[in-house]
Each structure stands twice: as structure tokens, then as C-alpha cells.
Structure 1
Amino acid sequence: MGSYDDRDGSIWMDGDLTPWREAKVHILTHALHYGSSVFEGERAYGGRIFKSREHSQRLLDSGRMMDIPIPYTLSEIEAAKAETLAASGLSDAYVRAICWRGSGDDMGVASARNPVHMAVAVWAWGAYYGDAKMQGARLDISKWKRPSPETIPCFAKAAGLYMICTMAKHQAEARGCSDALMFDYRGYVAEATGANVFFVKDGKVHTPKPDCFLNGITRQTVIGMLQARGVEVVERHIQPDELDDMEQCWLTGTAAEVTPVGQIGEHTFEVGALTRSIAEEYEKLVRA
């Protein structure tokens, strides 16, 4: 589809639909220099954004945690997303809502006097990991770790928190992998760069306890699906040396949806029946 700054269509910016190529910010926008922005990634299926209100509420929560007071209500955010999706003409689409500190009287670390802006963009986006949804993704193991909650509001979906993810994914792709698994600051298994992780062992599903990283909306949805089936889900700290004993693995996220994993570093996993059936059930759920 070409560069993201050179497309047809419109982007919602502070209440107005702006021609895509004209949706710009000033070079001294605070978020560009200091990462002062929060965002949501969402998917629409059949013209309906899945878990839309939950995403809008998380955007507001992220803004509060990052001291970025978002000047829109949940209902106004919902209306902006609906307007932009309708204007796109797309039925199945990716929806990006973002709020940021703009340019204003402050251009140092502090930015309390700078206005907070919001934008919504919608575009077509297929499988995040390509054919890995069928074959199983291959993951590197990152040298970068998820930070302690004492260092930053780690439960916010904030732009600055993703720089270590970007570096980890660049390294993974250079090694021929789709993504990277990250450990947390204590050395426990945490998540991939933009997706949560699940493992299967002896009929039980194990997933890292989200005490220093985002408890994803897709993650919560899949846990509910598993529990409704009567599958035991164990949320706990997982040591890296336990990966050898895990039988199946998958990732969850708005972009990733439910993606099987075939390999993490030297550890291999079967793309088994539970993995495939959860992926299929999730696909049915989002289109219900």
C-alpha cells in the first residue's frame, strides 16, 4: 500500500477528518522529542471494532498514568473511531487511536503547558506475522528486559515504553525471526515485543503473570475462552529453563490475534490441537 504518509483517505485529528497526506504535526511537538504519547491498536471485523470500549477506556487510563490528560470522554473517543472507520470504507481494518503532547510553551522535559491532541487512523492490515499463523512463528530471545514498575508506569500503553521492543524486534528480524521473547527485570518470561505469550503443558495452560507488563485485552479474552472450556489457566512467574518442558505455545494481541509459535531460541513447540482450536474460536468470536 506504500508509505504510511502517502495514502488516500482521511485521518481524524482533534475533531475533524483531515486528508491523509495533510495530517501532520510541528517538528517541535513534545511527543517527538520526549515520547509523551499513549495509543491503542484495535481491529475492526465486519465493520465493528472488537472490544472498542475497553480499548477506549485503556487509552484514557494510559493518559492518566502518563500524566497526559486526554481532553475527550470515552463516548467522544468512541464516536471519533466510528467516524474514521466509516470514512475509510473498510470493513476489516486496523484502528490506531493516539493522544500526545503537542508543541506549546514548553520544550524541555516538562510539558504541562502544552496541549494534548488526539488522532485516529484506519488502514487495512492483514496477518501481523504473515504465514506464521499457520506454520508457527519463530522467536528470538531478546537481551532487553521489561522494566520494573518502580521505573515507569508499565501498565500504560505508552509510546516510549516500546523503544526496547523496537530494538528487540529489529534484532530478531535480522536473525530471520518474526519476533522476540522478552524476560522481565527479574529474569522471568514476560511477553513478546507486542504480544502476550501462552504455553501448554500436561493439559494446562500457563501464562506469565502480568505484574510488570500490559495485561492485554486479547490476553484477557483468550483466558476467558479457555476457562469457559474448562481448561485450567495458571498465571504465574515462568522461569526461562521451563521452556524446554512446554509442549505448545502461542501469542495473543490485537495485531497478532492468536498466533502459534513453533520455536523460541532453541526451544521448539508443536502447533497442536489446543493452539489451533483457540485460534479458530477467537476468529469466530471477533466476527460474531
Structure 2
Amino acid sequence: MAGSYDDRDGKIWLDGKLVEWRSAKVHILTHALHYASSVFEGERAYNGKIFKSVEHSERLLKSGDLLDMPIPYTVEEIEKAKYQALEANGLKDAYVRVIAWRGEGEDMGVASARNPVRMAVACWEWGAYYGDAKFQGAKLDVAKWKRPSPETIPTAAKAAGLYMICTMSKHAAEAKGCSDALFYDYRGYVAEATGANVFFVKDGEVHTPIPDAILNGITRQTVIQMLKDKGITVNERHIMPEELASFEQCWLTGTAAEITPVGQIGEHTFEVGDITRDVAESYEALVRA
């Protein structure tokens, strides 16, 4: 599947039924378009099975609750919708996007309690998120923006509004020839990339930021458990920017990113070492098991 995302053949699950891809539209006065009242999940299907599908559905509902936007579907109904969309499009290896949002209704101010919460599921073929960087090591810029405090916004939600600075930072990074950007958080600690968590290696041990102001990614959690099962020490802690120079290896994790080695962050360089390669290979085997 190629071309503009609004002009493709196929089906999209929308509010309980499958509709033609080109007909899956919303009104210009949809609340989410004006006030970012939207949450979503990004998932991947391998050989017809969506990896960690139930966990993603559970997180979608949690994100909706955190935004005071109760989603009118159960986990079981969300699961059924995802697989209906995959089957309708004849896909087995695909990216799956589930999104829920405040639609158009009686409210068009900040408050939107009277507007219905809608949901859609779209899926498409999508290769490596970072292209060749998945094999060669991504180059990251350092974002000028910082991830916000959980006192200012629900950082545990996978919400559209949290990605505004991600888009801006990734555009700035790409203009410099980079694949992505690394954020620090509001305290100055190393946080995450624009759509992926970050891991580092030093002296055979792995270090990764505590998810106290960032999303605790499902792939992140999977990789941490994988490393522990291999007997590798994982240090979840606050990481200062000045520590970047001391790390030997680095990689990103995320449903779209999968496991992507990092070769450079700003002026700091990293090798695509044994632990990075082993984790990437083990993850690939796990998702296709």
C-alpha cells in the first residue's frame, strides 16, 4: 500500500462497522481537531497476530480515563475490531493504529462532555520506522523542548496532545540530517526520543530512564524483562546528559521502532555492540514466535 493516507483501497473500522478507506472521515468541528481530545495506540501484527494486543487495548482505555474521556468499548470489543480490520484488508504483517477521540456534538468549547467518544482502527503495511537506521544505527539530535512534568499533563496517557513537541522536534532533527531527536525532561534528565524509549549500555549493564515523566512503553517493558531473563542487569534510573559520553551502546524501543540501534546523539557516538544486536535478534524472534 502506497500513496497518500487518505486515498487508498481497503477498509477502516469506524464506530462499530467497516467502511471504505476513503469514506472514513470526521466533521471539521470534531472536538479532537480543536482541543487534542484524542488517545491512540500503535501496534504491529506479525504473521497475523498482534503483539501484546490486549496490553495495548488496556492502555487505550486507561489513556481515555486519564483524559476524562471514557471509551465506550471493552477490551474484548477493541480486540475484535482490530482483527476485523486486519482480515478486511487481507493483512498479516502490518501496523495497526487504534484511535479514540471526542467527536462533534453539542459542545464546541473546551468542555466536551456531551460529545460522543468515537473510535477507529486502521492498518497498513509499514516497514522499518527508521529505514536503514534500523541496521546502521540512528543519528539523533537533542531536542530544544523538554518532556513536561506529570503535574502539568497526564504523561502516562498515550495522548495526541503530548506529541506536539515531538513533531516539532523530529522536523528540526530531520532538517539536520538526523533520524530523530532525544528529549530531556523538565528536570534536565535524559527522557526519550519523539516516539520511542531509550536504553544505554555501559560495562555490560543496561541503563534506561525511569518512566516517571514519560510513557512506560509496552516494548520497553518487554525488553527489560527480556534482558533480565538473559541475566543482564537493568538499571532504571535518572540519567544526566553528561553521562552520555560514558555509554558504549544505545538503542531505541517502540512498537513502530521495534529495536533500533543508535549510532550518535548530538556529539556522542555509540557502537552497535553485542548486547544491542542480541536484544534486536531476540525481540524479532519473540514477536514472530
TM-score (norm 1): 1.00
Establish whether residue 241 from structure 1 lines up as the match of residue 263 from structure 2.
Answer: no
Which residue is 1:195 aligned to? 196
Q: Tell me the amino acid that sits aligned with residue 6 of structure 2.
A: D
The DSSP-based 3-state class of the residue aligned with 1:235 is: strand
Q: Secondary structure at the match of 1:39?
A: strand
RMSD across aligned positions (CA): 0.4
Counterpart of 1:21 in structure 2 is 22
CA distance in 2, matches of 1:10, 1:134: 32
Q: For residues 216-238 of structure 1, what are the alpha-carbon distances to aligned partners after superposition, in whole Å with 9 as ceiling and x for unaligned?
A: 00000000000000000000000
1:10 maps to: 11
For residues 120 and 7 of structure 2, what CA distance do their matches in structure 1 show?
17
The one-character-per-residue Cα deviations of 1:142-166 (angstroms, maximum 9, x if unpaired) are 0010000000101000001100000
The separation in 2 between residues aligned to 1:282 and 1:88, in whole angstroms, is 26
The aligned residue for residue 166 of structure 1 is 167
Matches within 5 A, 1:59-208: 59-208=60-209
Secondary structure of 2:85's match? Answer: helix
Corresponding residue of 1:268: 269
Q: For 1:172 and 1:193, how far apart are their aligned partners in 2?
A: 10
Separation in 2, partners of 1:225, 1:282: 8
The match for 2:41 is 40
Pairwise CA distance, 1:20: 0.1
Question: 5+ residue gaps in structure 2?
Answer: none
Find the residue that maps to 2:22 and give its secondary structure. Answer: helix
Partner SS, residue 110 of structure 1: coil
- 1:39 and 1:200 map into 2 onto residues whose CA distance is 31
Runs of 4+ in 1 over 3 A off after TM superposition: none
1:133 deviates by 1.1
Measured in 2, the distance between the counterparts of 1:88 and 1:234 equals: 42
Q: Which amino acid aligns with 1:62?
A: S
Give the distance between the partners of 1:182 and 1:111, measured in 2 at CA.
32
Is there any run of 5+ residues in structure 1 with no aligned partner, and where?
A: none
Q: Which residue identity is paired with 2:120?
A: A
Per the TM alignment, residue 88 of structure 1 is displaced from its structure 2 partner at its CA by 1.1
Q: Distance in 1 between matches of 2:68 and 2:12?
A: 25
2:176 partner amino acid: R
AA matched with 1:63 = G
Question: How many angstroms does 1:90 deviate by?
Answer: 1.0
Letter of the aligned partner of 2:154 in structure 1? P
Return the offset for 1:114: 0.3
Identity %: 77
Equivalents in 2 of 1:70, 1:184: separation in Å?
29
Match of 1:259 in 2: 260
Q: Deviations over 1:17-52 (max 9, x none)?
A: 010000000000000000000000000000000000
2:236 aligned counterpart, secondary structure: strand
Task: Classify the secondary structure of the residue corresponding to 2:235.
Answer: strand
